[in-house]
């Protein structure tokens, strides 16, 4: 019995010593990595200031806020703004335009960078490959203000697009494409793919670089062609990257690229260009309905979170890849 008591009493100081040793090692490692920790801390502080503290403003959606009074002094109205949005006469057009543009971008714009990266990866000439890659991702570094001006000039009555189509006898008279709502979706989708195709392919090219060359050599010995290597080796090798980017793309399906549409829209194509982000901008900043626009933004964020969780679970079950 005395032996058991000694064993128990001796184990407690040992546990305390072990815990103290772990703390010392933790502080020692923290001090060794102090430069990296400071860099990470700056990022955390930035995120707290610009991402988390402003979330207090969400309460505006449940109040009748005006710019004269403070947020705390604004009276509570509950779900009145959410109800007003559901009864808004513009709701149908806003949802239709947002989902139409975003879903087409998702189904067309998401696979194209993968295909482009696959074919670019098969180019053997390093100089030609770098030239194509540089030309393809150059538009990414131009803002939509610049590209919008270029597109507005190209798509005008006397623009280069009309001149080419008239020369090829594909049209009989010039068309003001940005003045016709039926062309707006196509212009937005094609121009977005043109701007982001090469840049999006960089991520897939980086993932392809991690695929073992020995697998390609073994496939060559077995008589596999290029397309078979792409299908059975390259694509499975980057499926985790594709899954992560697909999750992020699905969560952002309600984002219709505000900058792009703001630059290309006008009063003539408003029926096709009035998306959620533009509607929030008009009602919030231009009309001063801050609470109403905040409620719309909150609805959008909640739906985006739900889509993120659904896409995460789907990819997790299909190929065991997920964000969390």
By CB neighbour count within 10 A (0-12 exposed, 13-18 middle, 19+ buried), where does 88 fall?
Answer: middle
Q: Which has more pLDDT, 128 or 18?
A: 128
What is the CB neighbour count within 10 angstroms for residue 71? 12
Q: What is the per-residue pLDDT for 226?
A: 85
Compute CA 130 distance to the chain's CA centroid, rounded to the nearest angstrom. 26
Q: Is residue 110 part of a domain?
A: yes
Nearest Cα to Cα of residue 114 among 215, 237, 226: 237
Q: Are residues 250 and 301 in the same domain?
A: yes
> Is the whole model's pTM more than 0.85, yes or no?
no
Q: Is residue 181 part of a domain?
A: yes
Q: Is residue 239 part of a domain?
A: yes
Check the CA dihedral 43-44-45-49 and report its sign: positive
Q: Are residues 135 and 8 in the same domain?
A: no
Q: Are residues 15 and 139 in the same domain?
A: no
Q: What band does 111 get if pLDDT is binned at 50, 70 and 90?
A: very high
Backbone angles phi, psi at 151, to 5 degrees: -65, -40
Q: Are residues 274 and 162 in the same domain?
A: yes
Structure token digits, residue 21: 């040793």
Nearest Cα to Cα of residue 264 among 109, 147, 171, 105: 147
DSSP string, 115-137: HHHHHHHT---HHHHHHHHHHHH
Domain that holds residue 161: 79-319
Q: Is residue 324 part of a domain?
A: no
User: Each residue of 147-162: pLDDT tens digit?
Assistant: 999 999 999 988 999 9
What is the CB neighbour count within 10 angstroms for residue 271? 12
- Whole-number Å distance between alpha carbons of 308 and 300: 12
Q: What is the per-residue pLDDT for 217?
A: 87
Backbone angles phi, psi at 76, to 5 degrees: -75, 140
Q: What band does 5 get if pLDDT is binned at 50, 70 and 90?
A: very low
Q: How many structural domains does the chain have?
A: 2
Q: Is residue 70 part of a domain?
A: no
Q: Are residues 106 and 166 in the same domain?
A: yes
- Whole-number Å distance between alpha carbons of 10 and 200: 61
Q: What band does 13 get if pLDDT is binned at 50, 70 and 90?
A: low
Angle at 231 between CA 227 and CA 234, to 5 degrees: 105
> What are the residues facing 76 on neighbouring strands?
63
Q: Is there a contact between 273 and 264 (Cβ–Cβ < 8 Å)? A: yes
Q: What band does 124 get if pLDDT is binned at 50, 70 and 90?
A: confident
By CB neighbour count within 10 A (0-12 exposed, 13-18 middle, 19+ buried), where does 292 fall?
Answer: buried
Q: Are residues 43 and 90 in the same domain?
A: no
Q: Is residue 108 part of a domain?
A: yes
Q: What is the DSSP letter of 303?
A: H
- Whole-number Å distance between alpha carbons of 122 and 213: 13
Q: Is residue 22 part of a domain?
A: yes
Is the pLDDT reported for residue 67 higher than 50?
yes
Q: Is residue 66 part of a domain?
A: no
Q: Are residues 48 and 171 in the same domain?
A: no
Is the pLDDT reported for residue 253 higher than 70?
yes
Q: Are residues 15 and 151 in the same domain?
A: no
Using the 3D structure, point to which of 11, 31, 60 is the last residue of a domain. 60
Q: Is there a contact between 210 and 237 (Cβ–Cβ < 8 Å)? A: yes
> What are the residues facing 63 on neighbouring strands?
76
What's 182's domain CATH number? 1.10.3720.10
Mean of all residue pLDDT scores within the chain: 88
């Amino acid at each position: 019995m005395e032996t058991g008591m000694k064993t128990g009493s001796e184990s407690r100081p040992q546990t305390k010593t072990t815990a103290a040793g772990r703390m010392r090692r933790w502080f020692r490692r923290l001090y060794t990595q102090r430069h990296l920790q400071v860099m990470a801390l700056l990022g955390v502080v930035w995120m707290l200031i610009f991402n988390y503290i402003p979330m207090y403003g969400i309460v505006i959606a449940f109040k009748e806020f005006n710019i004269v009074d403070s947020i705390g002094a604004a009276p509570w109205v509950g779900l009145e703004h959410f109800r007003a949005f559901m009864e808004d006469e513009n709701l149908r057009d806003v949802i239709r335009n947002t989902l139409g543009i975003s879903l087409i971008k998702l189904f067309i714009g998401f696979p194209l960078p993968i295909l482009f990266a696959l074919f670019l990866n098969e180019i053997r000439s390093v100089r030609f490959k770098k030239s194509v890659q540089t030309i393809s991702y150059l538009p990414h570094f131009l803002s939509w203000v610049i590209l919008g001006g270029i597109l507005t000039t190209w798509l005008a009555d006397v623009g280069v697009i009309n001149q080419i189509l008239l020369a090829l006898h594909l049209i009989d008279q010039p068309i003001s494409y940005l003045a016709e709502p039926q062309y707006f979706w196509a212009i937005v989708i094609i121009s977005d793919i043109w701007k982001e195709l090469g840049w999006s392919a960089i991520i897939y090219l980086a993932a392809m670089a991690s695929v073992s060359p020995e697998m390609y050599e073994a496939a060559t010995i077995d008589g596999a062609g290029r397309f078979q290597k792409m299908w059975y080796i390259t694509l499975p090798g980057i499926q985790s990257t594709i899954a992560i980017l697909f999750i992020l793309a699905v969560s952002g399906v309600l984002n219709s690229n505000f900058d792009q549409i703001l630059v290309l829209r006008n009063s003539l194509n408003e029926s096709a260009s009035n998306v959620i982000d533009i509607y929030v901008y008009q009602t919030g900043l231009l009309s001063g309905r801050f609470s109403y626009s905040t409620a719309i933004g909150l609805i959008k964020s909640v739906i985006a979170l739900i889509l993120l969780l659904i896409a995460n679970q789907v990819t997790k079950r299909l190929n065991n890849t997920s964000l969390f």
